[in-house]
Structure 1
Amino acid sequence: MFFGKLLPREGNFFELFNEHGNKIAEGARSFMSMLQNYDDVGLREKYAAEVDVAEHEADRITAEVNRALHRTFITPIDREQIHGLINAMDDVLDLLQDSTETLSLYDVRRIPEDVLRLGDLSAKCCERVQHAVSLLPKLSEPKTAEAAIKTCEEIDRLESDADRVMRSAMSKLFREEPDVRELIKLKAIYEQLESISDRCEDVANLIEGIVLENS
């Protein structure tokens, strides 16, 4: 018993998850603002920089979680769940940053409506991820566990919506875009944006597993 008391316990994993979730939501809002103000170069650069800041801060949190895993003997949930969840969350912000950089590197001059629609769905997925993560500390409460599952289901529906929008956008792109270079650019951007919702769904699936095992 005395030995058990000496072992490092718990850590602040849920707090770090919540901080990371906030960065995902911040990055998604900045990304969407960039798309909505794309014609204004000054605002575009401002919001792109905000996405970069959110991604760098999230990387710091991810590293802190991984360090805490090495220091902590008794964790609040399974160690593999902690490792998988924080890395899946980090993938979301990495893709937001990648999408921001792709728009710049490919010298995209206009933002089609389908990019805005995919961006909006991706941002909504990110907001729901933040909400689901914020519920993790209280999963022992039945209502909280139910709310977490419901939020994960919302993410799944948004991901399905993003799939449909991307298929429609791709079909339209290959039918109507005469400029091959523009087609290649937009195809890559559509795929990256849809991947953001895919990664959000990965997070949702992990959270559902945590709920089922720990509620």
Structure 2
Amino acid sequence: MVASNPFARLFGTSPIKPLQLHMAASVLCASKLNAFFAAAFADNWALAEEIFAEISAAEHEADRINKEFRMNMPKSLFMPVSRGDLLSIISIQDDIADQAKDIAGIILGRQLQVPPPLQKKFTAFVENSALACDKALVAVNELDELLETGFTGQEVKLVEKLIRELDKQEQRVDKGEKSLRHRLFALESDMNPIDAMFLYSTIDNIGALADLAKAIGNRLELLMAK
């Protein structure tokens, strides 16, 4: 029976579905940073802690899927993608979940305040980085269609278009990061030096979410090129 087979229980007929479920859980972590920082800016740390708990729950779910994925995937797949390709993608996806949780954890643990003159630009920066992750999720959700069409035809063109949009979004995040760091530099002399250091690190880590999203797009692009 199918139910007695752990691989079949997890994957059904294909390992793509759990990969997509894992990406959805990982991106949920990143998307919740918008509400988390809104609560932090309002000095509502009780709400920020609630949202952090939601991020942690989504990260734990992503971790659970990742472990089952690795434990139950056969050594070889009768598919046009290799086991190594899929493991590489899920590893990057997992980094998104971990990164988002770490960002929120540091802010909450220190109750780190973003200076008011930076908050509007910071909000846009977080939203753009989360949007890059959303765009990567859309691309990953097309992977089963790519397999069904044998990586040919209109589906390839659609995914290539999604990857181009993802690249442009990552560039927006990169531009926003440079601008935000420049603004922070102008204010850091009036800040606690340790807080300024942690804020620079937080900006780097938020920008890294978009880098990870782009890395997933790059992986999909390599799959289509094989």
TM over 0.5: yes
Contact 1:106–1:185 (CA under 8 A) maintained in structure 2: no
What stretches of structure 1 of length at least 5 have no aligned partner?
A: 1-7
Q: Does 1:170 align with 2:170?
A: no
Contact 1:132–1:148 (CA under 8 A) maintained in structure 2: yes
- Compute the displacement of 1:105 (Å): 2.6
User: Residue type of the partner of 1:22?
Assistant: A
The RMSD of aligned alpha carbons is 2.0
Quick one: which of 62, 68, 71 aligns to 2:66?
Answer: 62
Contact 1:148–1:211 (CA under 8 A) maintained in structure 2: no
User: Residue type of the partner of 1:154?
Assistant: E
- Compute the displacement of 1:150 (Å): 1.3
Mapping 1:38-57, distance limit 5 Å: 38=40, 39=42, 40-57=44-61
Aligned to 2:195: 182
Quick one: which of 82, 86, 89 aligns to 2:90?
Answer: 86
Per-residue CA deviation, residues 89-135 of structure 1 (Å, 9 max, x unaligned), is 11111111111111123321346233212211111011111111110
Matched residues, percent identical? 20
Quick one: which of 71, 74, 78 aligns to 2:77?
Answer: 74
Cα distance in 1 between the residues matched to 2:218 and 2:136? 11
Cα distance in 1 between the residues matched to 2:199 and 2:120? 12
Question: Once structures 1 and 2 are overlaid, which stretch shifts more, 109-118 or 36-45?
Answer: 109-118
Quick one: which of 119, 125, 128 aligns to 1:121?
Answer: 128
What stretches of structure 2 of length at least 5 have no aligned partner?
A: 1-6
Q: Does 1:25 align with 2:27?
A: yes
- Compute the displacement of 1:44 (Å): 1.2
User: Residue type of the partner of 1:97?
Assistant: K
Aligned to 1:207: 220
Contact 2:62–2:94 (CA under 8 A) maintained in structure 1: yes
Per-residue CA deviation, residues 184-212 of structure 1 (Å, 9 max, x unaligned), is 12111101101111111111100111122
How many residues are paired up? 205
Q: Does 1:149 align with 2:168?
A: no
Large movers: runs of 4+ above 6 Å = none
- Normalised to the residue count of structure 1, the TM-score between the two structures is 0.87
